[in-house]
């Protein structure tokens, strides 16, 4: 069983965004698996990098729709996105220079943040996007 399993309760009813969420889950699962297998930093850092880069790509996709459709909660949602990118980037730098280790807490944070974000902030745009005809 994977660390995070995707199921329909995570769907935001937009295929493109669901696919991106699945990709983020895949990367967190990959990081979890690599840590569990005792892989070293040279193996873990590129996965972490990919997770940060892909988060950025994904958040940009959501924000592009917020702007296009004038989503009323754009600013609050964008702040949540940039808070996440900042936090994970800070961690990556600390991990890179040896002042932090990739702990179970960090993996739990990634998992909880993503699930709570999808089921909280993201869920709020489902009806709004559907009314705009996005699928």
Radius of gyration of the chain (CA): 15
Q: Residue 62 CB, nearest distance to Fe ion (Å)?
A: 5
Query: From the CB of 108, what's the least distance to Fe ion, in Å?
Result: 19
Cβ proximity to Fe ion: between 27 and 102 the closer is: 27
Residue nearer to Fe ion on the CB measure, 29 or 74: 74
Q: How many CB atoms lie within 10 A of CB 59?
A: 18
3-state secondary structure at position 6? coil
- In the complex with Fe ion, the residue whose CB is nearer, 33 or 64, is 64
Nearest approach in angstroms of CB 51 to Fe ion is 15
Site residues (vs Fe ion, CB under 5 A): 62, 122
51 neighbors 34 (Cβ within 8 angstroms): no
Q: Would you say 58 and 18 are in contact if contact means Cβ atoms under 8 Å apart? A: no
Residue 102 vs 118, nearer CB to Fe ion: 118
Largest CA distance in the chain: 48
In the complex, the smallest distance separating the C-beta of residue 52 from Fe ion, rounded to whole angstroms, is: 15
């Amino acid at each position: 069983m994977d660390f995070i399993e995707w199921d329909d309760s995570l769907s935001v009813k937009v295929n493109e965004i669901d696919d991106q969420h699945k990709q983020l889950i895949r990367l967190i699962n990959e990081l979890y698996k690599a840590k569990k297998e005792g892989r070293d930093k040279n193996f873990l850092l590129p996965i972490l990098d990919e997770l940060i880069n892909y988060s950025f790509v994904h958040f940009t996709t959501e924000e592009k729709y917020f702007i296009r459709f004038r989503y009323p909660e754009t600013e609050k949602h964008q702040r949540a996105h940039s808070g996440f990118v900042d936090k994970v980037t800070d961690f990556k730098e600390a991990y890179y220079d040896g002042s932090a280790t990739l702990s179970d807490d960090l993996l739990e944070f990634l998992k909880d943040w993503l699930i709570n974000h999808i089921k909280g902030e993201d869920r709020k745009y489902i009806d709004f996007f559907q009314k705009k005809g996005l699928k």
